[in-house]
Structures are given as C-alpha cells and as structure tokens.
C-alpha cells in the first residue's frame, strides 16, 4: 500500500514587544523567576487587561506579508483550562474571529521546486507561564514571567506532504518574522515554537486520516526527525490492523520516539467565549495602509533583486537572503567595496565568511569581521592591489584581529601585489632558465605544464605577482 503523508503546522511566534500583550510588565527573557508577572498577567481580581497596540501592528505586518485577508473586526476569547502555569484559569486568545485570515506562503525545496502552502489563519494570544521541573526535588516550580507575553499563532492548512516540506515551511516563516522584526526567532529561548500535526492516508484517498499532534519541538532538525518517526509509527500501526487515535504526543529526542501525552481536547472542551474585558479589535484601512508602506523588502523580493540587478545566481541570492542580517551584511560589504563586483562579494561571504563562521559555531551577528572590513578587503582585490590568495591571508588576519583593516595589513606586511611587468618578466625569465626540460616538453605540446610554471613564479614572488599578468606574459614567453 502506498501512503500519503499530510502535515499541518501551528507555529507560535513570541512578538518582540517590550511589554506584555495586556499589561505593562516587561517581556525580557531570563529575569529572576516571578519578577515580571504583574497583577494583570496573574488575573488577580479587580484588574483589567489593556491591549498592546504594538502587538496588533505586528500581527498586521505578518498578515500583509502573507497576502492574507485582514479581519476588519476580530475578537478576543477566553480559552478555559486548568494548569499550574495559567493562574487565571483561562488563556486570552482569539477563536472564531482571528485578526489574520487566509493567506499563503511559497516555499522552495532543495531541488529548486516551489510549493504554495496555505495559511489558515494567524491569531493573537497570550503565552502561559512555565513549569520548571528539575530544580526542586519531587516538586515542580512555576515561573510566571512568561505569562502574558504576546504570541502570534500561525496555523497552516494541512498542505505539507513530507517532513522536509514541513521544515522548509517552518524555516520560511522563521526568516519572515525576523525580516519583519516582529519576533527574534530565538528557538532556544522559546521565542519560536512549533506543533506538528501529522497523519497518513492511502494514496488517492480524499478524506484526511486521523492526526496526532507533536508538541513543542525546539529545533528544525528535531521537527524533521519527530515527524518522520511519527509517520513510521502510524503506517506500521495501520498496517498491523490498528487505528491512529487523535492525541497529543511528546517527542523524546534522546530515544527518537514519540509517546502519548494526552488525548486531544475538542474546542468545546475549552468553553470558548468572548472576553468581556476586552473590546473587539477594529482595523482602520488607513492604519493598514500605513503599515503596508512601512514593510521592509521581503525575502523573495530581495532575492529576485539580487538576481536581476546584481547578476547573482539564484542559489547565491537565496543563501544571502536567508536572513535579514546576512542580506544586510552583503549589501554593506558591497557598498564598502565600491559596489564593484557583487559576484565576488557573494562568493567571499558564502564560501569564506560563512565557512569560517560555521567552523567557529558563530552566527553572522557575531562575525569577528565586520561588513565594512570585508568590503575594504574586496576593494583591494578588485583594484588589483592584492590577489585573491593574499586576500585569504588578510582575511585570516582580520579574523584573528591581527589588523584593523586591509590597507594597514598590506602596508605592515608588504603584501602589495607586484604588477610591474618588468619585475614579473624577470621572475619568468629566471624560472624558464632554471627549468629547461619542462620548457622543452611544454613547447613540444605538453601544455598542461603551464600550471607548473605559474606555481614556480607565484612561489618566487611569495604569492604577490598578479596572476593574470603572470599568465599572459608567461604564455607569450613560452611561445618563444
């Protein structure tokens, strides 16, 4: 039997507001437990929530970026359930009337194919507190600092057909919210989280199979692994004559297995009802248009611009726009190198810089070489002061902080490229005189020996001879 996999994701993005969604308490991460939850976050009697405008603006930004229908009027609802990290006994969320309606997002797979994924809705809600296991023997601590942090829950259609597609979609949303500067995307700190709904059905069948929901998996890699192991489990179960039950399952990364956490609640278990303490959100067209005008250039538009205006390959442009910081780095470095050679700039960033950052386990934001410094280096390669090879030495010096900028390193180490053709000719003559056998072989047709001569001359010049000049002069000398 051939099976088709069906996946829908619910992504929770913490919105990057300074204060909570309904109170003035700080949202900063990492404070002493229970120092940033105020009476509103705790739902103490006699207090009223006041909606944070910034959170609304951020939701609108997201909606515009995914071409969504924006709700003229959306409503906050209480989702009632009991849990120690939810002292109010209900979570303020949106249910029937979310602020962001139907939208879509195009994802690209590694092989270059594109797919459009439907987004069902995105709604505003408040985060709950956190249960802390492990700090207290036999007991569970509760930290309510997170309670009331604004979340945008982004619900996809069940449109993904493999774990790889699900991860591509999740990454795309991750990039997008950071471009929009509405979420810091920090997965370790839980700013960006994902629940995966997974089901299988016989290929060709119209109805969806029963799904399991995999909760709170905190890395892209684990999302992929968890989905794949869950697919395997469901197929095996059905093929053995069993049935999948709708439930919430927990992924255990150490054992690479999913296990049942609880049976799935139905919406009616939550007794949703409109929150009587909050007015509906009414969006004025004027405000939407203002926000639309303030949107930054979005990743795909930036990628396409890099391809058309700068002649970069689609691959290079995609890598460079995979984060806003990286794209900014590229553009700043390019300006610092007098905008002379976008392709060279892209190559240096993708191969040299990202390679070195990857090796050092660093993010672009922590790059030891600034975009201006790299641009200064490229400037000297472009104007032939140094060769690419010397450029790599200087790159290492800049990286290890052995010099502030390329020009002072060139000066201090005497790395200036030799472009004086009489000096280069003298070196060539010497190499020719010292290697009569190779010269004869070359002249009788063994042209691959050219590389040998180039190597000798570069060695003699300590890498400083201009390679293009060496090539030209050498060829004409060898031709006799």
Nearer to ligand ADP, 11 or 379 (CB): 11
Nearer to ligand ADP, 54 or 213 (CB): 213
CA nearest 239: which of 286, 193, 200?
Answer: 200
Q: Which region among 73-81, 153-161, 333-341, 365-373 touches ligand ADP (by CB under 6 A)?
A: 153-161
- Using Cβ positions, the residue closest to ligand ADP within the complex turns out to be 8
Nearer to ligand ADP, 213 or 407 (CB): 213
Q: Are 142 and 84 in contact (CB under 8 A)?
A: yes
Those residues with Cβ within 8 angstroms of residue 262's Cβ, 6 or more apart along the chain or in another chain:
247, 248
Eight-class DSSP state of 246:
P
- Map tokens 């810091």 to a residue: 184
Q: Between the CA atoms of 304, 310, 314 and 318, what dihedral angle is there, to the nearest 10 degrees?
A: -70
- Map tokens 């641009």 to a residue: 375
CA nearest 394: which of 381, 417, 377, 380?
Answer: 377
Q: Are 373 and 398 in contact (CB under 8 A)?
A: yes
209 in the Ramachandran plot: left (φ > 0), alpha (ψ -120 to 50) or beta? beta
Q: How far apart are CA 311 and CA 230, in angstroms?
A: 43
CA nearest 56: which of 29, 11, 22, 12?
Answer: 22
Residue 7 CB, shortest distance to ligand ADP, in Å, is: 6
Nearer to ligand ADP, 205 or 384 (CB): 205
Residue 455: exposed, middle, or buried by beta-carbon count in 10 A (0-12, 13-18, 19+)?
exposed
Assess 7 for contact with ligand ADP (CB under 6 A): yes
Site size for ligand ADP (CB under 6 A): 15
- The phi, psi pair for 22, rounded to 5°, reads -125, 10
The pattern of x and - marking residues 186 through 225 that bind ligand ADP according to CB under 6 A reads: -----------xxx--------xx-x--------------
Residue 51 CB, shortest distance to ligand ADP, in Å, is: 23
Assess 8 for contact with ligand ADP (CB under 6 A): yes
Please state at what angle helix 163-179 crosses helix 299-310, rounded to 10 degrees.
80
Strand 247-252 and strand 212-217: pairing? parallel
Q: Which region among 6-14, 223-231, 288-296, 454-462 touches ligand ADP (by CB under 6 A)?
A: 6-14
Cα 426 to Cα 270, 300, 422: the distances in Å are: 86, 52, 6
| Interface with ligand ADP (CB under 6 A), residue from 33, 158, 403, 467 | 158
Assess 103 for contact with ligand ADP (CB under 6 A): no
Nearer to ligand ADP, 227 or 427 (CB): 227
Nearer to ligand ADP, 243 or 422 (CB): 243
CA dihedral over 15, 19, 20, 26, signed as positive or negative: positive
- Residues numbered 388-417 forming contacts with ligand ADP, rule: CB under 6 A: none
Q: Are 208 and 246 in contact (CB under 8 A)?
A: no
Residue 210 CB, shortest distance to ligand ADP, in Å, is: 7
Assess 157 for contact with ligand ADP (CB under 6 A): yes
Nearer to ligand ADP, 227 or 386 (CB): 227
Q: Where are the alpha helices (DSSP H) in 240-370?
A: 285-294, 299-310, 314-320, 324-336, 342-347, 354-360
Q: Are 428 and 477 in contact (CB under 8 A)?
A: yes
Residue 93 CB, shortest distance to ligand ADP, in Å, is: 10
Q: Which region among 152-160, 230-238, 374-382, 453-461 touches ligand ADP (by CB under 6 A)?
A: 152-160
Nearer to ligand ADP, 246 or 438 (CB): 246
Assess 155 for contact with ligand ADP (CB under 6 A): yes
Nearer to ligand ADP, 7 or 170 (CB): 7
Q: Which region among 26-34, 151-159, 214-222, 471-479 touches ligand ADP (by CB under 6 A)?
A: 151-159
Assess 10 for contact with ligand ADP (CB under 6 A): yes
Q: How far apart are CA 20 and CA 54, in angstroms?
A: 10
Assess 9 for contact with ligand ADP (CB under 6 A): yes
Assess 327 for contact with ligand ADP (CB under 6 A): no
Assess 156 for contact with ligand ADP (CB under 6 A): yes
Nearer to ligand ADP, 118 or 368 (CB): 118
Report how far Cα 27 is from the mean position of its chain's Cα atoms. 22
Q: Which region among 5-13, 178-186, 255-263, 424-432 touches ligand ADP (by CB under 6 A)?
A: 5-13
Residue 195 CB, shortest distance to ligand ADP, in Å, is: 8
Assess 258 for contact with ligand ADP (CB under 6 A): no
Residues forming contacts to ligand ADP in the complex (CB under 6 A) are: 6-10, 155-158, 197-199, 208-209, 211
């Amino acid at each position: 039997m051939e099976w088709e996999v069906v996946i829908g994701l619910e992504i929770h993005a913490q919105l990057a507001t300074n204060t909570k969604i309904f109170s003035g308490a700080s949202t900063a991460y990492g404070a002493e437990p229970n120092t940033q939850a105020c009476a509103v976050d705790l739902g103490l009697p006699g207090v009223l929530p006041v909606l944070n405008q910034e959170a609304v603006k951020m939701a609108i930004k997201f909606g515009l970026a995914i071409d969504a229908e924006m709700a003229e009027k959306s409503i906050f609802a209480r989702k009632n359930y009991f849990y120690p990290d939810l002292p109010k006994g209900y979570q303020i969320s949106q249910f029937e009337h979310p602020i962001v309606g139907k939208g879509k997002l195009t994802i690209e797979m590694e092989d270059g194919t594109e797919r459009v994924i439907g987004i069902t809705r995105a709604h505003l809600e408040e985060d709950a507190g956190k249960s802390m296991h492990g700090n207290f023997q036999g007991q569970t601590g509760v930290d309510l600092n997170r309670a009331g942090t604004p979340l945008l829950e982004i619900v996809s259609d069940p449109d993904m057909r493999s774990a790889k597609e699900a991860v591509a979609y999740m990454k795309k949303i991750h990039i997008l919210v950071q471009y929009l500067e509405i979420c810091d995307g920090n997965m370790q700190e839980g700013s960006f989280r994902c629940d995966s709904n997974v089901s299988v059905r016989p290929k060709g069948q119209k109805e969806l199979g029963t799904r399991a929901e995999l909760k709170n998996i905190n890395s892209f890699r684990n999302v992929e692994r968890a989905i794949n192991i869950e697919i395997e489990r469901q197929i095996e179960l059905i093929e053995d004559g069993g049935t999948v039950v709708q439930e919430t399952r927990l992924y255990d990364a150490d054992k690479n297995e999913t296990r049942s956490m609880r049976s799935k609640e139905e919406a009616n278990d939550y007794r949703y009802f409109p929150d009587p303490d909050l007015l509906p959100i009414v969006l004025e067209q004027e405000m939407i248009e203002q926000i639309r005008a303030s949107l930054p250039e979005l990743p795909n538009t930036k990628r396409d611009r890099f391809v058309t205006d700068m002649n970069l390959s689609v691959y290079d442009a995609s890598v460079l726009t995979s984060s806003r910081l990286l794209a900014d780095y590229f553009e700043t470095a390019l300006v610092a190198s007098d905008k002379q050679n976008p392709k060279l700039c892209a190559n240096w960033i993708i191969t040299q810089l990202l390679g070195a950052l990857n090796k050092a386990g660093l993010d672009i934001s922590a790059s030891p070489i600034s975009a201006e410094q790299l641009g200064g280096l490229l400037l000297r390669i472009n104007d032939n002061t140094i060769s690419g090879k010397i450029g790599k030495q200087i790159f290492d010096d800049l990286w290890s902080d052995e010099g502030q900028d390329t020009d002072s390193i060139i000066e201090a180490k005497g790395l200036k490229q030799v472009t004086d053709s009489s000096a280069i000719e003298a070196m060539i003559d010497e190499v020719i005189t010292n290697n009569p056998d190779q010269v004869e072989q070359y002249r009788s047709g063994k042209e691959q020996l050219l590389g040998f001569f180039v190597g000798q001359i570069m060695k003699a010049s300590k890498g400083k001879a201009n390679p293009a000049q060496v090539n030209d002069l050498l060829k004409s000398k060898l031709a006799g």
